[in-house]
Amino acid sequence: MDIKKVLNEVTKEIEQSSSQQELQNVKVAYLGKKGKITELLKSLKDLSLEEKKSSGSKLNLLRIEVDNLIKNKFNDLKIEEINSKLKNEYLDISFPPPNSIASKAHPISKTFDEVITIFGSMGYSVAEGPDIETDFFNFSALNIPENHPAREMQDTFYIDDKDKEGKPYVLRTHTSPVQIRTLLNQKPPVKIIAPGRTYRCDSDSTHSPMFHQVEGLFINENANMGDLKGTLIEFCKQFFNVQNLKVRFRPSYFPFTEPSAEMDIAYEIVNNKIQLGQGDRWLEILGCGMVNPIVLENCNVDTNTYQGFAFGVGLDRITMLKYGLTDIRSFFSGNLNWIASNGFTIGEF
C-alpha cells in the first residue's frame, strides 16, 4: 500500500477543489464511510499484529494530515466566497442623504432655564400666575390707579369678558401681578421669581405683542437696596458670563417700587458687534426698586416689620443681547431654520 501515493493524490484533489461542495466530495471520497482512507483503515483488521502496528500508525497520521488539509482548504474557500460575495454588495456611499434640520430648543427656553438656575442659587423659588389677569392684580394692587399716567406707560390688551368688579380682564402687561398673588398667599419671608408670558399692544422689530419677563421679589425684615444692587449685578455677571461688568443704577419710576431704579450695563461696539461689560455706551437691562409700602399694605403685609425689593427683566431682550439677535418677531415666527441656527441642542440645553 502506498501511503505516499494516496497523500499525493488526495493533496492534488484538495488543491483543485474550487468550491466547498467539491471539497466536501473529496472529503467523502477519502474520509467518508466508504472513503479510500477509511477502507484502508478497515483493511488493517486482516493484517498481522506487527503489520497492524506499523501500518496503523502510518495510516492514522495520513488520516489526520488529510483532515487538516481539508479543514484549511475549507477555511480558504470560505474566505474566498465571502470576499467574492462582498464584491457584489458595494453601495454608492456618495448618494447624498435627504436634507435634514437639527432639532433644537428655543433660545427663550435656555434663558428660562438659566434664570431659574442663577436665581435658584441665590435662594429664589419659582412662582407663577395667569396671563389673563384682573385689573386689580395687574394695576390697582400695584398702586397704578385708573387714569394714572403710569397706565399709559404700558399699552394694555383688554379681554371682552369682565371680572367680578365689572372691569374687563387684561392680558398682564408685566409679571408683577405675581408679586401680589404670592404676597396674598404666603407670609413673609418671600423670595420668588416668576418667569412668564406678558403682553402689550405694540409691534415692531423691538416690540412684540407677546414677550417674556421674569419678576423677582424678596421680602423679609431687612432686604435693602444694597442687596438689590448686589443681586442684580450678580445675575447679570452670571447670565452674560462677564466677570468684569460695568453697570449703572439710575433713578426711575414705577408706581409699585419706591425708590425705583433702572439698571444699565456698559457696552462698546467691536467689529460691528455689541460687546457687553465695558465701554461708554449704556444698555437698559431691567427695572427694579424697593417695594412700595403701599403695595405691601395692599397685600396685608405689616410694613413696620417687613420690607424688600422687586425687579423685572425682559427675557427676550436679554436673550437678544446675549446672543446678538436683532428682531424679536423672529422669536415667535415658528421658523425652524431660525430655531436651527439660534436654538440649543440637547447637550447645550
Residue list 154-173, contact with another protein (CB under 8 A): 157-161, 163, 168-169, 171
Question: Total residues at the site for another protein (CB under 8 A)?
Answer: 89
| Among 48, 88, 94, 222, interactor with another protein by CB under 8 A | 222
At its nearest, how many Å lie between another protein and the CB of residue 242? 16
Q: With CB under 8 A as the contact rule, which of the stretches 40-48, 49-57, 254-262, 271-279 interacts with another protein?
A: 254-262
Q: Do you know the residue count of the chain? A: 349
309 DSSP 8-state letter: E
At its nearest, how many Å lie between another protein and the CB of residue 58? 49
At its nearest, how many Å lie between another protein and the CB of residue 101? 7
344 DSSP 8-state letter: B
Q: Give the Cα separation of 271 and 298 in Å (integer).
A: 50
Q: With CB under 8 A as the contact rule, which of the stretches 17-25, 29-37, 68-76, 112-120 interacts with another protein?
A: 112-120
Under 8 Å between Cβ of 310 and 299:
no
73 binds another protein (CB under 8 A): no
Q: With CB under 8 A as the contact rule, which of the stretches 23-31, 46-54, 110-118, 268-276 interacts with another protein?
A: 110-118
| Among 57, 72, 121, 305, interactor with another protein by CB under 8 A | 121
Judged by DSSP in three states, 286 sits in strand
At its nearest, how many Å lie between another protein and the CB of residue 290? 6
Three cell numbers written together for 43: 483493511
Q: With CB under 8 A as the contact rule, which of the stretches 7-15, 74-82, 114-122, 317-325 interacts with another protein?
A: 114-122
Residue list 131-150, contact with another protein (CB under 8 A): 131-132, 147-150
Q: How far is residue 142 CA from its own chain's centroid? A: 37
Distances, alpha carbon 248 to alpha carbons 34, 80, 215, 283, 297, in Å: 104, 79, 20, 9, 30
278 DSSP 8-state letter: S
Helix spans in 177-284 (H):
177-185, 225-240
Compare residues 158 and 323 and give the one whose CB is closer to another protein.
158
Compare residues 65 and 234 and give the one whose CB is closer to another protein.
234
Q: With CB under 8 A as the contact rule, which of the stretches 13-21, 59-67, 72-80, 96-104 interacts with another protein?
A: 96-104
233 binds another protein (CB under 8 A): yes
At its nearest, how many Å lie between another protein and the CB of residue 106? 4
| Among 23, 114, 124, 328, interactor with another protein by CB under 8 A | 124
Q: What are phi and psi of 319, to 5 degrees?
A: -65, -45
Residue list 274-333, contact with another protein (CB under 8 A): 290, 292-294, 307, 331-333
Compare residues 77 and 105 and give the one whose CB is closer to another protein.
105
102 DSSP 8-state letter: -
At its nearest, how many Å lie between another protein and the CB of residue 45? 47
Q: If we measure between CA atoms, which residue out of 66, 55, 182, 83 comes closest to residue 129?
A: 182
Cis before 98? omega within 30: no
Under 8 Å between Cβ of 69 and 10:
yes
At its nearest, how many Å lie between another protein and the CB of residue 230? 4
Listed in sequence order, the residues at least 6 apart from 230 whose beta carbon sits closer than 8 Å to its beta carbon are none
> In 10 A of CB 272, how many CB atoms?
5
Compare residues 29 and 225 and give the one whose CB is closer to another protein.
225
Q: What are phi and psi of 60, to 5 degrees?
A: -60, -45
Residue list 187-216, contact with another protein (CB under 8 A): 189, 191, 197, 199, 201, 203, 209-210
Under 8 Å between Cβ of 295 and 270:
no
Compare residues 50 and 152 and give the one whose CB is closer to another protein.
152
